[in-house]
Amino acid sequence: MTDSRTRLLGLIGDPVEHSLSPHLHSFLLERAGLNYRYLAFRVSRDALGDALAGMRALGIRGLNVTIPHKEAVVPLLDRLSPEAEAIGAVNVIVNEDGTLVGANTDTWGFLKPLEIRGIPVRGGRAVVVGAGGAAAAVAYALLSAGAEVAIVNRTPERARELARRLSRFGPVGAAPVEALPGLVREAGLLVNATPVGMWPRTEGSPVHPSLLREGLTVYDLVYNPPETRLLGEARARGCAVIGGLEMLVWQGVRALEIWTGARFGEEEVLAAMKHVEGVLRG
Ligand SMILES: NC(=O)c1ccc[n+]([C@@H]2O[C@H](COP(=O)([O-])OP(=O)(O)OC[C@H]3O[C@@H](n4cnc5c(N)ncnc54)[C@H](OP(=O)(O)O)[C@@H]3O)[C@@H](O)[C@H]2O)c1
pLDDT tens, per residue, the chain with 282 residues:
899 999 999 999 999 999 999 999 999 999 999 999 999 999 999 999 999 999 999 999 999 999 999 999 999 999 999 999 999 999 999 999 999 999 999 999 999 999 999 999 999 999 999 999 999 999 999 999 999 999 999 999 999 999 999 999 999 999 999 999 999 999 999 999 999 999 999 999 999 999 999 999 999 999 999 999 999 999 999 999 999 999 999 999 999 999 999 999 999 999 999 999 999 988
135 vs 150: CA distance, rounded Å:
11
Q: What is the pTM of this model?
A: 0.96
233 vs 11: CA distance, rounded Å:
34
CA-nearest residue for atom 35, ligand 1, is: 194
CA-nearest residue for atom 17, ligand 1, is: 132
CA 265 to ligand 1 centroid distance, Å: 30
Atom of ligand 1 nearest to the CA of 245: 1
The CATH superfamily assigned to 107-242 is NAD(P)-binding Rossmann-like Domain (3.40.50.720)
pLDDT of residue 275: 98
Burial of 83 (0-12, 13-18, 19+ CB in 10 A): buried
pLDDT of residue 1: 85
Burial of 17 (0-12, 13-18, 19+ CB in 10 A): exposed
CATH match for 7-104+248-281 among 3.40.50.2020, 3.40.50.970, 3.10.580.10, 3.40.50.10860: 3.40.50.10860
206 vs 191: CA distance, rounded Å:
10
Which of 19, 154, 155 gets mutated to test ligand 1 (max ligand atoms within 8 A of its CB)?
154
Active-site residue (options: 25, 61, 69, 70): 70
Decide whether 7-104+248-281 matches 107-242 in CATH topology: yes
CB 25 within 8 A of CB 252: yes
Amino acid at 11: L
Which of 83, 91, 218, 221 gets mutated to test ligand 1 (max ligand atoms within 8 A of its CB)?
221
Which of 194, 198, 220, 228 gets mutated to test ligand 1 (max ligand atoms within 8 A of its CB)?
194
pLDDT of residue 282: 87
Domain boundaries, the chain: 7-104+248-281, 107-242
Q: Is 274 a catalytic residue?
A: no
**Ligand 1 binding pocket, CB closer than 6 Å:** 106, 109, 130-135, 153-155, 158, 193-196, 198, 221-223, 244, 247-248, 251
Which residues, at least 6 apart from 220, have a Cβ–Cβ distance to it below 8 Å? Answer: 191, 192, 197, 228, 230, 231, 241, 242, 243, 244
CA 4 to ligand 1 centroid distance, Å: 41
